[in-house]
Chain A
Amino acid sequence: GESVGLHLPTLSVQEGDNSIINCAYSNSASDYFIWYKQESGKGPQFIIDIRSNMDKRQGQRVTVLLNKTVKHLSLQIAATQPGDSAVYFCAENNQAAGNKLTFGGGTRVLVKP
């Protein structure tokens, strides 16, 4: 079936360094992609999104890159801070399929002081 997956289950990064989290998706019909941050015991928190007609979008300290050719999505966090420690999920959305989100497996980011 359709799926969204991640390459790295855990990412350890030094405080102040940049983090890159990768995600592969398989549904070429997906047209909207979102990155969520989830802290322990809490619901997902929206970070940034991107539509399929774009290949890059920047937010505050975060950048999402979309490569439709290889069905790859990445989240870059600049100057990673201790508060960035969490599990990050990518999700894909196919509007034609009823706006349902399919989540990737998640990557845990651990920020070392």
Chain B
Amino acid sequence: GAVVSQHPSRVICKSGTSVKIECRSLDFQATTMFWYRQFPKQSLMLMATSNEGSKATYEQGVEKDKFLINHASLTLSTLTVTSAHPEDSSFYICSAEPRAIATDTQYFGPGTRLTVL
């Protein structure tokens, strides 16, 4: 149980284009999902907290107009990297917090490797 998927697993795009990454909780509902970015050989850095039915909360230094987050349902959150540039190339990982059970545990997706040419 508690499986989180991401799609796509890998994407290559041209500079200036937008890329959408999906995060789904497959067997549970998640009121809250989190988006992280991880550069090579570095740790995970929280970008934003996504709450179903409300606006996302962004961490300091993360541009909300560049990284658009939509949490339209209890099982799906999307991250859109708008006007992507090579410096946006990174590993993007989402996590989800189960709604039904009293736990602080976040379950992580497999990540999406974004390469911007």
Contact = CB atoms under 8 A, between A and B. Distances in A.
Interface of A: 32, 34, 36, 41-46, 49, 89, 93, 95, 98-106
A102 B42 CA distance: 13
Interface residues of B, number: 23
Interface in B70-117: 93, 95, 97, 104-111, 113
A101 B106 contact: yes
A43 B111 contact: yes
B111 A100 contact: no
- Main SS class of interface, A: strand
Interface of B: 4, 6, 32, 34, 42-46, 49, 57, 93, 95, 97, 104-111, 113
B111 A41 contact: yes
A41 B32 CA distance: 24
**Closest 5 A/B residue pairs (Cβ):** A43-B108, A103-B43, A103-B44, A43-B111, A44-B108
B49 A100 contact: yes
